[in-house]
Amino acid sequence: MASHHSSSSFFTTFRLCFCLLLPFLLGMASAQLTTNFYSSSCPNALSIIKSAVNTAVSNEARMGASLLRLHFHDCFVNGCDASILLDDTSNFTGEKTAGPNLNSVRGFDVVDTIKSQVESSCPGVVSCADILAVVARDSVVALGGPSWTVRLGRRDSTTASLSTANSDIPTPTLNLSGLISSFSNKGFTANEMVALSGSHTIGQARCTSFRARLYNETNIDASFQSSLQANCPSSGGDNNLSPLDTQSPTTFDNAYYTNLVNNKGLLHSDQQLFNGGSTDSQVTTYSTKSTTFFTDFANAMVKMGNLSPLTGTSGQIRTNCRKTN
């Protein structure tokens, strides 16, 4: 009898513990992004997004870099939740006026167009955060870079954080230790940081972002320096643009790393990756082995897309990416 009682007590306790754990386990399951999230709810979503990205990039190659950057600047501020897309209102301050974003982050109109097209196909289903994640991948592919499988199921935030955008997005003035620390705070290794920095093989930067390097640093190729100074004088011309990769600014390749090896990094933070420090050897490898860079970049992008997504019943699916429902 004692044995039977102990057995009953055990199963009663087990059932109680399982019932208490069940919501937690279900919560964990719902927090997992999946590769086929819209396969039945919006089967045309991915093709709609890809077509729109291809059109936007063919109209302006630079847009590919801008759309990739939107995803990055979104994910580094409280996770990949489309908070960067929210406009300021009379009683709400978004992230668009943060230092790293103001007069710099762009591509919002393209996202608006994509959202409108997706809403026409399946209203209230596809999140703005997922659109940003897919758009980043499709932009890289459109410019000749690697592809990766985007995991989906993110939901959109109802809040934003100007202060976190100002503090957490890496700046062009960071030294190597600052870059490693900034990415480490988001769970990335130094190797992943170097791989993700390769996104600077496309896109452009404003003069104000690299003037200090152009006029104050010695680890810069002389002819490269001279060619840039006309477009970025020692004073004025803050918003004049120069390509981050002068070799092939509209092609996603490994030329960014070749530039670094030749002291032709545009930003201070770029050249820090090849400046006698711990990341030199990785830069050298990427400069000669584009397939290695492509593989590492794709894997790091998957990891970035997994930064603290809102899932399940958290957040919402915004009808308009610029404002909450």
Which among 67, 43, 54, 57 is positioned nearest to 126, based on CA atoms? 43
Spatial contact of 192 and 296, defined as CB atoms under 8 Å apart: yes
Establish whether 200 is an annotated binding residue: yes
Establish whether 112 is an annotated binding residue: no
Length of the chain: 325
Spatial separation of the C-alpha atoms in residues 86 and 103, rounded to whole Å? 16
* Catalytic residue (choose from 4, 71, 73, 268): 73
Spatial separation of the C-alpha atoms in residues 49 and 29, rounded to whole Å? 27
Establish whether 167 is an annotated binding residue: no
Which one-letter amino acid corresponds to residue 180? I
Establish whether 234 is an annotated binding residue: no
Establish whether 74 is an annotated binding residue: yes
Establish whether 192 is an annotated binding residue: no
Which among 133, 139, 146 is positioned nearest to 253, based on CA atoms? 146
Establish whether 79 is an annotated binding residue: yes
Spatial separation of the C-alpha atoms in residues 184 and 275, rounded to whole Å? 20
Establish whether 296 is an annotated binding residue: no
73 is catalytic: yes
Spatial separation of the C-alpha atoms in residues 194 and 189, rounded to whole Å? 9
Annotated binding-site residues for Ca(2+) read 74, 77, 79, 81, 83, 95, 201, 245, 253
Catalytic residues: 73
Annotated binding-site residues read 74, 77, 79, 81, 83, 95, 170, 200-201, 245, 253
Annotated binding-site residues for substrate read 170
